[in-house]
Amino acid sequence: MEKKDLNEIEKEMKLANEGLPEKERILFSDARPSRVEPLNKYLEQFVNWARARSLWLLAFGTGCGATELRPLMTSRFDVSRFGIAGRPTPRQASVFIIGGYASIKTIKRIVRSYEQMQGPKYVIALGSCTINGGMYYDSYNTINRIDYYIPVDTYIAGCMPRPEALIAGFNRLKEKIQKGECDGMNKYADNFDWYKKNQKQIIKDWNMPDYNW
Amino acid sequence: MNRDSESKYKGFEADRSKYPQMEKDKPVIDLESQKFIKTWQGPQHPGVTGNMSVELIINGDEIVDAKTHVGYLHRGFEKLMERRRYIQCFPIVCRICVPEPDTNEYCVSAAMEDLAGIVVPEKALWLRTLNLEMSRVGSFLMWLGGQAGSLGMGAISQWTIGMRDFWLDLFEEMTGGRVYHMYMIPGGVRKDLPEGFRDRTRELIVRTRALLFDIEKTFFNNAIVKARLKGLGVISPEMVTEYGIVGPSARASGIEDDIRINNPYGKYAELDMKMITSDVGDAYARAEVRYQELHQSLDLISQIMDKMPEGGKIQAKLPNVLHWKIPAGQTYVKAESTRGEHGFYMVSDGTKYPRRVFARGASYTHAISVLEKLAVNISISDLAALMVSLHTCPPEIER
Amino acid sequence: MKNILKRLNEKIDDLVVVKQRDDLYFIKVKREHTDFILRYLKLDENFKHLDFMQAVDYIENNQFQLTYMLYNYEIKINLGINVMIDREKAEMDSMHRIWPHLWQYQREIHEMYGINFPGSPRVDESFVLEGWEEMPPMRRDFDTLEYSKRTFYPRPGRSTNDPKEYMKEKLYHDFAKSPKIRRDDE
Amino acid sequence: MDIIIRILYAVISILVATVWGLTLTGIVRKIYARVHGRFGPPVWQPFLDIIQTHSRRVAISHGYMFFLGPVFRFAGGLGTYLFIPVILGSTVFGNFSMGGDVLLVMYFIFFGQLGMALGAGEGGHPYSPMGIARGLSQMSAFEVPFSLAIISVAIQYHSLNITTIVQAQQGSILNWTLFTNPLAVIAAMISLLGMNGHAPFSIVMAPQEIPIGPPIEMNGSFLGILQTNRGLFAAAKLILFMNLFFGGAAHPNILVALLIMMIKTFFIYMFSVFVGASFPRFRPEQSFRFFLKWPTAIGILAILYIAYL
């Protein structure tokens, strides 16, 4: 993606704790995300092997796609065979599934949850609506491309994608993790200003810290 | 199903006798005094149905104030339909309610037929009724799993959702779609049943009944389930009419309100079914009513399988739907979804585009007014169970 | 139902009745009569259940049409009440005292159409939109496609065809010399 | 030199217990999955989870006490385990059993929860204090029948030393406390349900109510430590119950003795799994009331039965 001019972004970027007294500043975080380098070669390979076999989904059904997650987690297509389990809190989850279209009110929560997840974190985007808007391309309340707001590792097309497609997408994500290609966390840290700019363009009432550290 | 009830009707105003003090029917809650915590249940919370959130002010484990926030799933369907032609509307309406899309399809097709004066052939009506009942079965199974899961009984939800998946397979045979079907078009349905569909459906009905037999033993006769659900979220008959409560939630309070019987549509007039009501009005009564309606839906499906004619036209003759002008007028078509009355209000102005389409979901009042009222003075442990027992479905609130 | 309409006609003058179906009637009343009519229908004619209340935007004759849909459990008939209000200073009396859940619809209409309901509880809270700065989105003169193009980042490559032109070039280009197929219903 | 040998033995026995506890957790997950009609995760899934949690690149902390929480918890698990003789008469697995270690073990079972309370409260999420309140209240509830059962057993064997208690049960299967003092065993097994935290007593980590309770803010290595401790602590509890009520594990061949230990602990755990797979969750106050009603009465009866009969 093309990099924007940094200093003009700096002008329009404003941290949530600006203009607050010192003792309230600490309530918000103004720490920018920093890039974390992977471990040395063989250790990283081993760790990636373990990460790919223990994927923890964030239990956040952001859209229609959450409907097909239920058959996926339950007895018909049982993905816990592959070490995929749901975690109810973003602090512990490592995979974020964007279940279809994301309305403006949801993208705010998506950004918060994504930033609260501890890296390395992976994002799977379900459905056509996350790729190009799908059948909501002309809606005033749903975004068109999710990858302008958070980095995406794997897309699963379809409306709505079948559980088999979801399993295929999970396998694709596993391969990418084992190859060490899923580096969305560092990608987010590198293009932080660009992502923030895109997010702030649609999230009008920005009443949260710029980085939910 | 008249269980001798220990339910006490609380009247309209929630019982705030304990906490907090009321001043001119407003609770005095100051978060500065260390008595209250403000938490959000949802949108990122396993205990909410779908993608909605409830803003709670709790005192210990007791909820003293609740406020529902919706809009996380708002796609602006009504605006989108205003700039789509009539035939382009029906692929998107089924997205309005995810677990039970066919009611939307039926309502929008029936509204167009009502405005344009199209007569639907017999076979198409049978197929529509069959499709609606099958979608009711799927949604009820999903609800049963949710009700058990909200009480922490994971096994039941695994069983029911696994069984619902076989019903989705039947949908796939019938319509080609697994979750979203786009089966009913104005003037009829898209295609006829495949070969041997009736036998497979009968065999699946037998399997579903066998599963429900287990569930009745493990869930409905479970002492802990009764201890948790009885007396939770009592809805009084007066409250039903005042708050616009419909469907099983109204029937569990003794109001005989079933659109399939009161205002029959499709082929429901030719099927024999009886109104299932209870007089208790708490969450357990709602669960029992829904459970019996699940059996009723299975029974209706087998009736349809017996009574439905083999061949026949499945589509009425339509004009060229791409520039199809519907005469001006307004209508309101409603159908009985698993949550209650699901209606479409369509206004046409004689052009190729509808002037206004409004989808009335049953959760609209259930999830906001009723939930905010019933959630007061219950333990935070019961909020998920209460939400599921009202069977709220967020996407049909905000469309 | 006829008796109910007759009694209604005695109550107020120039009552316009449209029968859409056997179980669906529409009446058009004036704005000042609405409160009285709703109370009368709910209490005396026991149209106890309110299905919904919604608004329609008639921009060409500069009016909003509000629709209250009532239902009667005894005679099992829906009755829709249409009220035309002015579009410039869009304002309507709040009926939330008649049905306790009516404030939700009024809140939604206030947000989606910008119609004011003075005295309605929580009418100024945001219902589905958060930080909305444009005009109310459900008004006819709000172009959602243009707003979407302007705000979000459309992925290049999406081509939308006008169905009429598209089908004409795809299907009907040789319609004249295509053989006539008799449909079974002719 | 002796101290080094002791440390080496302790490390070995801790490793064995942790691995066995984690394997047991995996087996239990598999059994739950079979009840659900699924295949379920592989048995070694807990180990993979621990590697994955420890290998997070970022781990966010909320202050010093936040560090101490998992450490205290793990210390509680270690303390619980290190004073329980796993295998009677073994030098490696004998651990540091001494006179009065039953009281020490009961203290350590409490200790971990208290430390966890300190640490999780630091996280600042409103759900963690709620979970802590539930956990501590439920613990004090099920401690009542448990301590009554322990007192009854102590009166029965005139000792507070686990080794002595196990020795007294040797010989024939009829010498087990299960048969000599059944009331105490019933009370203790009911409190084991609450100790293991399966349904209907899974109110601490109830995902639908307070996801997921105290460790909601724990991430990365903190969670890894907690999961390791979960394995060790489960093993310690089960071994304690095996020693007190089911005759312990004693055999001249240490491998056979370990096998006996595994089989017995497995079946003791199966009891709480059997209950947990077939019941929904209690409301918190219902759970407290439950423990303070019948199990307490049974425990008192057990004391009377031992003391006066």
Query: Which of C104, C140, C144 has its CB closest to that of B365?
Result: C104
**Residue A171: pLDDT above 70?**
yes
Residue B3 pLDDT? 40
Which residue range is the domain that position D93 belongs to?
Answer: 2-308
Burial of C98 (0-12, 13-18, 19+ CB in 10 A): middle
Those residues whose C-beta lies under 8 Å from the C-beta of residue A20, and which sit 6 or more positions away, are A27, A28
pLDDT of residue A16: 53
* Strand ranges of the sheet holding B356-360, from the earlier edge strand across to the other edge: B329-337, B340-348, B356-360
Q: Where are the domains of chain C?
A: 2-174
| Average pLDDT for D84-89 | 83
Closest CB to B158: pick one of D37, D281, D283.
D37
Rounded to two decimals, the pTM is 0.87
Q: How far apart are CA A125 and CA A97, in angstroms?
A: 6
Model confidence pLDDT, tens digit, residues B96-142? 888 888 888 888 888 888 888 888 888 888 988 999 999 999 999 98
Q: What is the mean pLDDT of chain D?
A: 86
Helix, strand, coil % in chain D, rounded to nearest 5: 70, 0, 30
Q: What is the pLDDT of residue B26?
A: 64
CB A143 within 8 A of CB A188: no
- Per-residue confidence (pLDDT) for residue C89, from 0 to 100: 83
- B241, C127: Cβ pair inside 8 Å? no
- pLDDT, mean of residues C162-179: 63
Task: Verify whether the Cβ–Cβ distance B384 to D200 is below 8 Å.
Answer: no
Alpha-carbon distance of A195 to B271, in angstroms, equals: 58
Q: How many whole angstroms separate alpha carbon D70 and alpha carbon D224?
A: 9
Using a CB-CB cut-off of 8 Å, the residues of chain C touching B71 are: 126-130
Domain limits of chain B? 77-398
Chain B environment of A101 (Cβ under 8 Å): 75
Q: What does the alpha-carbon distance between residue B347 and residue B82 come to, in Å, rounded to a whole number? A: 10
Average pLDDT on B137-156 reads 88
CB of C161 within 8 Å of a chain A CB? The answer is no
CATH class of B77-398: mainly alpha
pLDDT value of position B260: 87
Residue A202: list chain C partners with CB under 8 A: 151-152
- Compute CA D272 distance to the chain's CA centroid, rounded to the nearest angstrom: 12
pLDDT at A8: 55
DSSP string, A106-127: HHHHHHHHHHHSPSS-EEEEES
Residues of chain D contacting residue A87, judged by C-beta atoms under 8 Å apart: 212
Instruction: Quote the pLDDT of residue B7.
Output: 39
Contact of B164 with chain A, judged by CB distance below 8 Å, is answered with yes
Length of chain C: 186
Residue A65 DSSP SS3: coil
Residue C160: per-residue pLDDT: 67
| Confidence category of residue A65, pLDDT binned at 50, 70, 90 | confident
Cα–Cα distances (Å) from D146 to D79, D190, D199, D239, D244, in that order, read 18, 8, 18, 15, 12
CATH class of A55-202: alpha beta
Query: Which run of H or E residues covers position A57?
Result: strand A55-58
Beta-carbon separation of D56 and A119 below 8 A: yes
Q: How many residues does chain A have?
A: 213
Contact between C20 and B365 using a beta-carbon 8 Å cutoff: no
Selection from D27, C68, D34 nearest residue B159 by Cα: D34
Please identify among residues 295-314 of chain B the ones whose CB lies closer than 8 Å to any CB of chain C: 313
Segment B341-353 mean pLDDT = 87
Which of residues 223 through 252 in chain B touch A, CB cutoff 8 A? none
Whether B151 sits inside 8 A of D280 (CB atoms) is yes
> pLDDT-based confidence at B10, cuts 50/70/90?
very low
The residue-averaged pLDDT of B159-178 equals: 89
The CA distance from B327 to B307, in Å, is: 35
| CB-based touch B/C (3+ pairs, under 8 A) | yes
pLDDT confidence of D27, banded at 50, 70, 90?
Answer: very high
Asked if pLDDT for residue A4 goes beyond 60, the answer is no
Q: Which two tokens stand for residue B358?
A: 């409004």
Residue B114: both structure tokens together: 């009502």
More confident position, D149 or B322: D149
Residues of chain C contacting residue A201, judged by C-beta atoms under 8 Å apart: 151
In this predicted structure, the answer to whether residue B23 has a pLDDT above a threshold of 80 is no
Over 80: is that where the pLDDT of D226 sits? yes
pLDDT band (50, 70, 90) for residue D194? confident
Chain C residues with CB under 8 Å of B43 CB are none
* Mean pLDDT, residues D65-71: 82
- Amino acid C35: pLDDT: 84
Q: Does pLDDT of C9 surpass 80?
A: no
Q: From CA B125, how far away is CA B314, in angstroms rounded?
A: 8
Most confident of B204-218, C118-132, D188-202: B204-218
DSSP strands (E only) in chain B: 22-23, 26-27, 37-41, 53-59, 62-69, 184-185, 188-189, 329-337, 340-348, 356-360
Residue B374 has pLDDT above 80, yes or no: yes
pLDDT band at B16 (very low <50, low <70, confident <90, very high): low
Question: Who has greater pLDDT, C177 or A130?
Answer: A130
Alpha-carbon span B280 to B284, nearest angstrom:
9
Q: Does residue D274 surpass a pLDDT of 50?
A: yes
| Amino acid (one-letter) located at C48 | K
Mean pLDDT score of chain B, rounded to an integer? 83
Euclidean distance between CA atoms B34 and C75, whole angstroms = 54
Q: How confident is the model at residue D19 (pLDDT cuts 50, 70, 90)?
A: very high
Count of domains in chain D?
Answer: 1
CATH fit for domain C2-174, picks 3.20.20.30, 3.30.460.80, 3.40.605.10, 3.90.1150.110:
3.30.460.80
Q: Is the pLDDT of residue C167 over 80?
A: no
pLDDT digit string (tens) for A9-23? 555 555 555 656 666
pLDDT given at position B265: 86
User: What ipTM, to 2 d.p.?
Assistant: 0.84
**At least 3 CB pairs under 8 A between chains A and C:** yes
